[in-house]
């Protein structure tokens, strides 16, 4: 099925930016399109904000631009599936911005869209002794379903980078599995127990993997899961899924991350996305829904023939990364205990 979200911007050209708002517009245009990448497209301010100095003004501007995109999406198309795809992708991105204010989210109720203001709760999913924590964000609004947004592996200026890399690369383990079992599981359950009805989960990459681990552990507390470019899980996790929740996993042509792990549950729906322009594995991963450009979707499972190859490559790469990050985390915890 061919799709495109039209009439959002007059054009997708990325122009020189002098304000945070202009930077944010460029960022969103690039992230939701399939236009070719050039280093000239990334400003000095954006590189600085991603790599070595947090920029709260820019993060807030991106958050506002994403909120506007979600509202324009429901106004510009009658295709409910396309609008939901874009809104879900935006929800999966919000944790990377570490929002501190209420979020406005379009919700489809009784065949109509409503803009709902959700209260925000930041959840710290790991021990503070290990440093900057893994985080998630719980969204609640009276009379509307609660949402849990789980963060993927963030850039260095966002909370939880080291712990995210540590749980991404556990030799022989599924992505996110160790962190979920050690500390995130208990804290997520505490939040789920406070909700009056089953919740909806959203996440990208590591965040998507954590969402899948969550639905396997607490299926009866989950209404639906929208997992963007998730790594695969191991059978020990999949065997706990009982079939209550509706699970959709979105993956982009050229992305190798869904090929790491043992597989996905047969009851989960796999949505394959292909953009008009060929993407490198990295950009296929971060631009999983290029809705501003032409793209197609179909139900399709990743090739099983490639799973053993990429899973073994992940295992080999994991050994030095896991050992290094574990040492750093232990030293950090030891130093904190003596302060």
Q: DSSP for 135-195? A: EEEEEEETTEEEEEEE--S--TTSTTHHHHHHHH--TTS-TTHHHIIIIIHHHHHHHHHT-
Question: pLDDT tens digits, residue range 2-49?
Answer: 778 877 887 777 777 789 998 999 889 889 998 877 666 667 888 888
Domain-located, residue 17: no
| CATH number of the domain residue 328 falls in | 3.40.50
117-139 confidence digits (pLDDT tens):
999 999 999 988 788 899 999 99
User: Is the predicted pLDDT of residue 184 greater than 70, yes or no?
Assistant: yes
Q: What is the pLDDT of residue 250?
A: 97
316 lies in some domain: yes
**Angle in degrees, CA 273, 278, 283, rounded to 5:** 75
CA gap 322, 177 in Å, rounded: 13
pLDDT digits (tens, 9 = 90+) for 280-300: 999 999 999 998 899 999 999
pLDDT digits (tens, 9 = 90+) for 67-121: 999 999 998 888 899 999 999 999 999 999 999 999 999 999 888 999 999 999 9
Token digits for 293? 């450009």
Domain-located, residue 203: yes
- Domain around 262: 87-337
40 within a domain of the structure (yes/no): no
Instruction: Report yes or no on 226 lying in a domain.
Output: yes
Overall domain count for the chain: 1
Over the range 211-232, which residues count as b (16 or more CB within 10 Å of their CB) and which as e? Answer: bbbbbbbbbebbbbbbbbbbbb
Average pLDDT over all residues of the chain: 92
Is the residue at 51 inside a domain? no
- Phi and psi dihedrals of 230, rounded to 5? -85, 140
Q: For residue 305, tell me if it sits in a domain.
A: yes
Region class of 226: left (phi > 0), else alpha (psi between -120 and 50), else beta: beta
331 pLDDT higher than 70: yes
- Examine residue 229 and state whether it is found in any structural domain, yes or no: yes
Q: Report the half-sphere exposure of 177 (CA within 13 A, side-chain side).
A: 19
Alpha-carbon torsion, ordered 31, 36, 39, 44, to 10 deg? -30
């Amino acid at each position: 099925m061919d799709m495109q979200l039209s009439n959002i911007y007059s054009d997708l050209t990325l122009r020189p930016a002098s304000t945070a708002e202009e930077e944010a517009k460029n960022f969103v245009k690039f992230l939701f399109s399939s236009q070719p990448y050039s280093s000239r497209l990334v400003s000095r301010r954006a590189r600085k904000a991603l790599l070595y100095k947090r920029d709260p003004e820019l993060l807030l501007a991106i958050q506002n631009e994403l909120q506007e995109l979600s509202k324009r999406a429901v106004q510009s198309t009658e295709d409910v599936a396309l609008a939901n795809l874009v809104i879900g992708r935006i929800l999966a991105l919000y944790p990377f911005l570490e929002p501190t204010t209420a979020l406005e989210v379009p919700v489809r109720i009784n065949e109509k869209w409503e803009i709902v203001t959700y209260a925000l709760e930041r959840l710290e999913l790991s021990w503070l002794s290990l440093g900057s924590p893994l985080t998630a964000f719980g969204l609640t609004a009276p009379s509307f379903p609660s949402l849990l947004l789980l963060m993927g592996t963030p850039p260095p200026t966002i909370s939880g980078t080291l712990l995210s890399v540590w749980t991404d690369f556990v030799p022989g383990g599924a992505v996110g599995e160790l962190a979920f079992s050690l500390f995130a599981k208990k804290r997520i359950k505490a939040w789920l127990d406070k909700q009056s009805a089953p919740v909806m989960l959203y996440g990208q990459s590591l965040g998507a993997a954590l969402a899948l681990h969550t639905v396997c552990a607490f299926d009866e507390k989950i209404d639906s899961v929208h997992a963007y470019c998730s790594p695969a899980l191991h059978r020990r996790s999949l065997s706990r899924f009982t079939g209550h929740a509706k699970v959709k996993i979105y993956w982009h042509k050229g992305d190798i991350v869904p090929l790491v792990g043992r597989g996905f549950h047969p009851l989960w729906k796999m949505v394959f996305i292909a953009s008009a322009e060929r993407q490198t594995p990295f950009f296929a991963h971060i631009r999983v829904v290029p809705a501003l450009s032409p793209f197609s979707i179909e139900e399709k499972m990743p090739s099983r023939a490639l799973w053993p190859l990429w899973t073994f490559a992940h295992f080999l790469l994991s050994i030095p990364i896991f050992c290094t990050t574990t040492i750093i985390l232990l030293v950090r915890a030891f130093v904190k205990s003596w302060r």
